[in-house]
């Protein structure tokens, strides 16, 4: 559906997006994740034709956004970071304008306006002035605007920022619903949100693509060099001796706890974490030592995020010097 090839965007000496290549399929929800200033908004602005690229191509459904903007833009609905609303109009007037600008007419226009207002739940507010609406409703009007013209791709830039928890849940539900019939790309820097809503995660940092996978696969990837936490009913020396008999694991930390219990953290190195857990269990069972806890610690998406985005950081100070 969307092809991004070697996309680069420079603002003077600062490189916001650097050689980004992506293939985005249809009918899924894509989460666009990255720390602030990673180039999320810049990439989205380029994808929607709001910004030019220094280098590279973006094709939407086969149409180049720079060369055939008209056809390409018809396939996209875009909600920028700050909803582009005319505050002294009502949602109905606003949507009518956007619909007309997208080439809708007559009964098709009124039909679609009704449909998107229904979908985003702004029917009751349709005749109020947008300036009188709450942030949550404004966001919905912004999303409604993006849905007009029935685009195949909906791009939402941080749609949940600044909303209260209830509104966040409502917007997420809306995104899920949209994802059933179209491609949805939305950016966020909240991991849990992306994890719960998305089928695929695109992670970028400092303008580079650092990961593009399903949430589960991303976690799996970082599972390998993980650790196991265990607590046993034995003194530290005994626990250490038992662990020494298990191949491929190394004790990272061991400490005595009250009532004769010992807690330990074990690194599994390159071994499969569940295989190592099994070996530890059997070693303790063979010696009739009671294991009270045995937890293979899975890397959370947060760890993945931190690791992937920070591993890329070294060239950052240099860039800041250039900018100065």
Identified binder of another protein from the candidate list 10, 37, 50, 265, rule CB under 8 A: 50
DSSP per residue, 138-154: HHHHHHHHHHTT--SEE
93 contacts another protein (rule: CB under 8 A): yes
**Which residue in 27, 62, 103, 260 binds another protein (CB under 8 A)?**
103
Contact between 49 and another protein by CB under 8 A: the answer reads: yes
Separation CA 311–CA 314 (nearest Å): 7
Interface with another protein includes 73 (CB under 8 A)? yes
Name the residue nearer to another protein (CB basis): 50 or 273: 50
Rule CB under 8 A: say whether 15 interacts with another protein: no
Q: In the chain, which ranges are continuous DSSP H helix?
A: 40-47, 69-74, 91-101, 106-120, 135-147, 165-179, 191-197, 215-221, 236-244, 273-286, 301-310, 315-323
The token pair at 191 is 């991991």
Task: CB nearer to another protein: give 105 or 180.
Answer: 105
> 13 or 286: whose CB is closer to another protein?
13
Q: Please select the residue that binds another protein; options are 21, 23, 26, 52, rule is CB under 8 A.
A: 52
Binding to another protein (CB under 8 A): which residues in 245-284? none
H or E stretch at 297: strand 291-297
Binding to another protein in span 148-167, by CB under 8 A: none
Of residues 80, 121, 136, 236, which one binds another protein by CB under 8 A?
80
Cα 133 to Cα 85, 128, 293, distances in angstroms: 11, 8, 52
Q: Which residues bind another protein (CB under 8 A)?
A: 11, 45, 48-52, 69-71, 73-74, 76, 78, 80, 82, 84-89, 93, 97-98, 100-103, 145
């Amino acid at each position: 559906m969307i092809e991004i090839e070697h996309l680069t965007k420079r603002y003077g000496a600062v490189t916001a997006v650097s050689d980004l290549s992506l293939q985005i399929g249809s009918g899924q929800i894509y989460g666009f994740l990255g720390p602030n200033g990673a180039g999320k908004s810049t990439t989205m602005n380029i994808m929607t034709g709001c910004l030019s690229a220094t280098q590279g191509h973006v094709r939407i459904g086969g149409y180049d956004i720079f060369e055939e903007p008209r056809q390409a833009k018809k396939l996209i609905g875009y909600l920028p970071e700050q909803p582009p609303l005319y505050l002294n109009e009502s949602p109905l007037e606003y949507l009518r304008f956007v619909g007309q600008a997208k080439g809708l007419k007559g009964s098709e226009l009124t039909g679609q306006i009704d449909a998107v207002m229904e979908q985003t739940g702004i029917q009751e507010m349709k005749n109020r002035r947008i300036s009188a609406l709450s942030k949550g409703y404004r966001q919905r009007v912004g999303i409604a605007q993006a849905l007009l013209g029935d685009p195949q791709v909906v791009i939402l830039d941080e749609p949940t920022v600044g909303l209260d928890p209830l509104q966040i849940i409502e917007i997420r539900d809306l995104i899920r619903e949209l994802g059933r019939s179209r491609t949805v790309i939305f950016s966020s820097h909240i991991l849990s949100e992306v994890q719960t809503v998305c089928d695929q995660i695109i992670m970028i940092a400092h303008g580079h693509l650092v990961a593009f996978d399903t949430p589960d696969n991303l976690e799996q990837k970082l599972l390998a060099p993980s650790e196991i936490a265990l607590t046993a009913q034995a003194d530290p020396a005994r626990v250490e001796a038992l662990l020494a008999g298990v191949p491929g694991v190394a004790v990272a930390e061991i400490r005595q706890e009250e009532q004769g219990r010992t807690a330990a953290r074990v690194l599994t190195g390159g071994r499969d974490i569940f295989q190592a857990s099994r070996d530890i269990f059997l070693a303790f069972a063979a010696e009739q030592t009671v294991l009270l806890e045995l937890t293979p610690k899975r890397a959370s998406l947060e760890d993945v995020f931190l690791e992937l985005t920070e591993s890329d950081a070294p060239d950052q100070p240099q860039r800041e010097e250039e900018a100065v």
